[in-house]
Structure 1
Amino acid sequence: MSDFEVTGIKDPITHFALFSESDPTTFESVLKEEKWRITMDDEFDSIERNDTWELCDLLDGHNTIGVKWVFKTNLKENGEVDKYKTRLVAKGYC
C-alpha cells in the first residue's frame, strides 16, 4: 500500500521529476551535501544568537534530553525549491 497516488501524469519524465529530490533521511547523507551543512550551521547560529539553550553539567539523578535534526525542502507553488530548512529539535518523551 502506498502513502500517495499520482494520477493524470502521462509524461514519465514529469513523474520522475516529482520524486527525484527528497529530504535526507540519514545524517550521513546530509554530510555529503553542502546545502544541508550550511542550513545546519545557520540553525546553530540562530540557537546561539537567541540563547535558546546552554550546555551544563548534568545533575545526579537527572536524564539528558536527546535531540535530532529535521530536514525539509520547502517548495514554491510551481514546484521549484524555495529553501532548504533544518531544525534541531528536542526529542519528546511522555
Structure 2
Amino acid sequence: MVTRSKNGISKKKILHTTTTKPKLDYLQTEPFSLTIASKILEWTATMQDEFDTLQCQNTWSLVPPLAGQNIIGCRWVYKLKRNSDGSISRYKARLVVKGFHQQPGLDFDETFSLVVKPPTVRIVLLLAAQHRWPFRQLNISNAFLHGFLKEDVFMIQPPGFVNSDCPNHVCKLHKSLYGLKQAPRAWFERFTSHLLTIGFTASTTDPSLFVFAMVPLYYISYSMLMISY
C-alpha cells in the first residue's frame, strides 16, 4: 500500500481548541451585576426589602434635576451571610453610593470620624474581667442609614427601582448611605448626640468612649461594646 508519507505528501493537521466556563450558581455565590441578580428570586426579594427600608426611613425624596447639580451614581452590592457550617444564613443587598463622584465643598465637607482606640477596648475588657462585670456587643442594623446629612447630595434613582411616574427625577438625600464620604461622621454625630441626651458622658481621653456614671454603671465604646456594672 502506498501511503501519502511514502509519496512525500503531507497535510497539516488543523487543531481546534475550545474553552468552557462552568456556569455559576448565583444562589451559592454573589452576583456581580443587577442583570444577574434580577433573574434570581432570592436576590430580588432582598433588594426589595432594602429598598422598602430606605423608603420607610425617608432616606430621600425625588426632585427634578437642575443645571449645575452634581448627581452621583449608585449600585447594588450583594453579599451572602453564611453559618459556621458554610450553609447560607441570608442574602443581603446594599445600595451603595459611588462616593468617588462627590466633589469637596459641593456635596461633602468634613469626613473625619472617630474610631475607638485599641487600648481603650483592652482596658475596659480588663476592668470587666477583674470585677466580673457582664458585657455584650451590640449591632445596630443599617447604622450608617441613621445619620443626617447637612449637605445637599443628589443621587440617581436606584437601578431597578426607577419611579415610573417621574423617571427623570433624582434622589435628594436626607440621610446618609453606604459609600458617602461623610457617612461615618454623620452616623457618629447622631450616635453621640443620642448618648449625651440619655445621660452618657464622653471620656476626655478617648471621645469614642462613653460612661453612664450612675448605678448600674455603663461603658459604651464606639466599637459597640457595652459593659454594665
> TM-score, length-normalised on structure 2?
0.31
Q: In the alignment, what sits opposite 2:33?
A: 26
Q: In the alignment, what sits opposite 1:57?
A: 64
Name the structure where helix makes up a greater proportion of residues.
Answer: 1
Gaps of 5+ in 2: 1-26, 103-229
**For the residues of structure 1 that align with 2:39 and 2:67, how far apart are their CA atoms?**
38
The superposition leaves residues 47-75 of structure 1 with CA deviations (integer Å, 9 ceiling, x where unpaired) of 11001111212232112111100000000
Q: In the alignment, what sits opposite 1:39?
A: 46
Does residue 78 (structure 1) correspond to residue 85 (structure 2)? The answer is: yes
Q: In the alignment, what sits opposite 2:97?
A: 90
Gaps of 5+ in 1: 1-19
Q: Which amino acid aligns with 1:63?
A: N
Q: How many residues align?
A: 75
SS at match of 1:58: coil
Percent identity of the aligned residues? Answer: 37
Structure with higher RCO (Cα < 8 A, 6+ apart): 1
Shift of 1:87: 0.8
Q: Which amino acid aligns with 1:92?
A: G
**For the residues of structure 1 that align with 2:29 and 2:90, how far apart are their CA atoms?**
13
**For the residues of structure 1 that align with 2:91 and 2:51, how far apart are their CA atoms?**
15
Name the structure where strand makes up a greater proportion of residues.
Answer: 2
Alignment RMSD (CA, Å):
1.5
Decide which structure has the larger Cα Rg and report it. Answer: 2
